Amino acid sequence: MSVQAVLQRVALLEQARLDPSVLLAATRSGGTAPATPADEAAEPARPPGGTSFADILQSASGGEADGAALTLTPSSGAYNSSPAFGSASTAYLSQTVAGVPGLAEIGRSSASAGGRMVAIAESQVGQAEQPPGSNESPAIAEYRSATAGAVPGAPWCAYFASWVARQAGAPLGAQGEGLGSVSAIWSWAQSTGRAIPNGPGVTPQPGDLIVFGGEHVGIVKDVLPNGGIQTVEGNYENKVALNVRSPTEATGYVNMA
């Protein structure tokens, strides 16, 4: 079952819970019927589609939420991001989509850009180059689509970070155009006050970008009790992978809150 289909169903169920006549009206007008096992079997396995999770969340909530909504600025394609769901809505969404791969965590985390970053990045773990070492695959081509001027076959850790940020409603770059190199990400972070040089006492937040000089960038998943930094990294050993970094490895972080 696709992400969009599930979230649309969540929205309908929420509306029906508040007003049962909504469900009756949807049925009379040919509304979406429950998917059959055959339908679900025919559904491709979680492709990184062109519609952002931020768009889907906004669509599923009818453009409204307990808090502020995510909006798309038509002139630049850049997202203005603010909390999309209050605690009541996120709790219900989480309960409704529990058991659907990659969705429960997105539901729980949708109230912050950092939470969405983590959930979306984790949903891509295991996407790998085809063949290994080629910097290519259908998923990687999709990641490049979030960065203007992206080059096929180029190292793609920054493309992945740009794609995740765009899907989360917090795109990288002055115009939301995505950034294709680690040095460009760090320069943008410095110019916008998001850059946090690593050092004693520095602790990143979930969803922050973790930067290793001008060579590599990933996404902070969490900080372990021993200080280790759990990450999701694109182009790590030719795939999107979970990793654990020591507190001193990174040269800095980019605040995505």
Residue ranges per domain, the chain?
A: 3-111, 138-254
Classify residue 217 by burial, with Cβ atoms within 10 Å: 0-12, 13-18, 19+.
buried
The candidate with the shortest Cα–Cα distance to 232, out of 178, 157, 173, 167, is: 157
**What is the sign of the dihedral through the CA atoms of 69, 74, 75 and 77?**
positive
Give the integer Cα–Cα distance in Å for 57 and 93.
10
Q: Are 100 and 119 contacting, i.e. CB atoms less than 8 angstroms apart?
A: no
From first to last of its 257 residues, the chain has per-residue pLDDT tens of 555 554 565 555 555 555 555 444 444 444 444 444 344 344 444 445 455 555 554 454 444 333 333 333 322 333 333 333 333 333 333 333 333 334 444 544 456 899 999 999 999 999 999 999 999 999 999 999 999 999 999 999 999 999 999 999 999 999 999 999 999 999 999 999 999 999 999 999 999 999 999 999 999 999 999 999 999 999 999 999 999 999 999 999 999 98
Q: Compute the residue count for the chain.
A: 257
pLDDT at 257: 87
Sign of CA dihedral 179, 181, 182, 183: negative
Query: In sequence order, what are the beta bridge partners of 216?
Result: 212
pTM: 0.63
pLDDT at 85: 30
Question: Domain 138-254, what architecture?
Answer: Alpha-Beta Complex (3.90)
